Structure 1
Amino acid sequence: MTWRLFRVWQRNRDSHRKYFWASLVGNLGEPLLYLFAFGYGLGSYIGRIHGQSYLEYIAPGLLVSTAMFAASFECTYGSFARMVHQKTYEAILATPLSLEEIVFGDIAWGTTKALLNSLSMLLLLGFLGLLVHPSALLLPVALLSIGLLFSALAILATAIAKNYEFFNYYFTLLISPMFFFSGIFFPLDAFPPWVKTVSLFLPMTYAVDLARALVAGIWSPRLLVDLLALLTPALFAGLLAARLIRRRLIP
């Protein structure tokens, strides 16, 4: 696997240009809705959590959820269309690129799209005065890691998907639980102990923890644990996805 994977990234970028604004609105609209409806509306009744307003509490989690959803949609529906219906993968295989380069090129594009969408959210949080600590400058690094992980997980789901309906299982059984049970909206202590235990196996929990620490200006060795909890499964998911797609496309 070489730098040629960025040719796949470049192909996807060029194809995406005319859909950029529609895609941005689609991926950014829902987190913004949660931010204002929950942060200002529900927040006026909840009060403070851990010394923060409810808006300040949910903002980091909604930021990383933007990256999660953007990467997940791109590398499920988008990658499936390229692989199955458009036959883009098979066409690129006729060039010197390897299948691994195609898969990781798609993952790189999903990561980029996640970063672009979440940076828009990041700018809004800065405009609202929610980013006051210098450590917030490292949030793009965290968003890249989150985008990489969820792009790899999504393309792993794509590798075994038979049709678009399969992704209903992926989003309902994996993505939605991570959105609601990873500490975005409420502290995990508010849930029963078994939910807190399950949350330790959800990568989104570590993504929220990392973003919240950077926004609050908290430095601790736990940040490295959070980062490793994102990057390690991303590598394994990407390699496994490439292997499964190879079996699928090359008998």
Structure 2
Amino acid sequence: MQMSTYGLPQFSMRFVPIWRRNFLVWKKLAPASILGNIADPLITLIAFGYGLGSLLQHVDGIPYIHYLASGSICMSIMMASSFEALYSAFSRMHVQRTWDALLNAPLGLDDIVLAEMLWAATKSMFSGIAILGVMFFLGIGLHPHTLLVLPILFLIGATFASLGLVMNAVAKGYDFFTYYFTLLLTPMMFLSGVYFPTRQLPDWLQVVSDLLPLTAAVHLVRPLILGKWPAAPMTDLVILAVYCVIGFYVATILTRRRLLK
């Protein structure tokens, strides 16, 4: 079926088998995949939480390891979702030609892009659940509020998956993703309140920080893990939703231009 390059995404329930296909492939490597995704945040918690935490014991009246853990889970979701939407999706699209095979079936390209986005969000949420388990073991986040973190983790994953699929649509090779991680995601980690309060930043950087999706994610997740309520939940949810919707729309347009031209 012909479609306008810039038309709104057209979905059907046919994205479900594509999502399921990715899930079944992942199941074969699930333990290694989850372990790999929790290794970095676990090392961060131990190295910074206990190392730096011995010198900087409290931030805003919160034990530093609790402060760090409640921010680093958002960072971990961002990285896990981005990795899946970049390296794994690019492999299926360009190297393994899985997308070409799917397009020979009665499937639309928009369904494939939607399935990739939802799968990346799902996979990152699996990793987030594993990280929450580690946090519970350390005595962090043992509050009923923490249950509300799960749907937020999925939204965070979907947001960064959508942004990652934009990069995936224009990438010529794996090396291209290094720029995305180095120039966008890594600076965002240090500007979004993961390691320290954003009020420590210069005024102009605080303005930038307030517009970043990772900052919105931290604003939502940290209070819940600490047993409190977010200060401005609707604002932060809207920021994440705007990045997710616009990112997905741009990713759909660029993917159409690449594969259907």
Q: Distance in 2 between matches of 1:128 and 1:195?
A: 33
Which structure has the highest helix share of the two?
Answer: 1
* Count of residues in Structure 1 that have an aligned counterpart in Structure 2: 251
**Mapping 1:1-251, distance limit 5 Å:** 1-219=11-229, 222-251=232-261
SS of 2:29's partner is helix
RMSD of aligned residue pairs (Cα, Å): 1.2
| Higher mean C-alpha deviation, range 129-138 or range 109-118 | 129-138
Q: Aligned-pair distance for 1:26?
A: 1.6
SS of 2:193's partner is coil
Q: Aligned-pair distance for 1:215?
A: 1.6
Q: Distance in 2 between matches of 1:89 and 1:228?
A: 32
Which residue does the alignment assign to 2:8? none
Q: Distance in 1 between matches of 2:230 and 2:21?
A: 40
Q: Aligned-pair distance for 1:219?
A: 2.8
Say if 1:124 and 1:220 are closer, same or farther in 2 by CA, change over 3 A.
Answer: closer
Q: Distance in 1 between matches of 2:138 and 2:87?
A: 33
- The answer to whether the Cα contact below 8 Å between 2:57 and 2:63 also exists between their aligned partners in 1 is yes
Q: Distance in 2 between matches of 1:201 and 1:131?
A: 26
TM-score by length of 1: 0.96
Q: Aligned-pair distance for 1:15?
A: 1.4
AA at the equivalent of 2:77 = A
- The answer to whether the Cα contact below 8 Å between 2:22 and 2:119 also exists between their aligned partners in 1 is yes
AA at the equivalent of 1:211 = V
| Higher mean C-alpha deviation, range 111-120 or range 18-27 | 18-27
- Quote the sequence identity (%): 40
AA at the equivalent of 2:100 = E
| Higher mean C-alpha deviation, range 17-26 or range 1-10 | 17-26
SS of 2:28's partner is helix
Q: Aligned-pair distance for 1:221?
A: 6.1
Q: Distance in 2 between matches of 1:172 and 1:44?
A: 29
Say if 1:32 and 1:221 are closer, same or farther in 2 by CA, change over 3 A.
Answer: closer
Q: Aligned-pair distance for 1:63?
A: 1.0
Q: Distance in 2 between matches of 1:81 and 1:137?
A: 34
Find runs of 4+ consecutive structure 1 residues off by over 2 angstroms. Answer: 216-221
Q: Which runs of 5+ in 2 are unaligned?
A: 1-10
Q: Distance in 2 between matches of 1:234 and 1:213?
A: 22
Q: Aligned-pair distance for 1:5?
A: 0.7
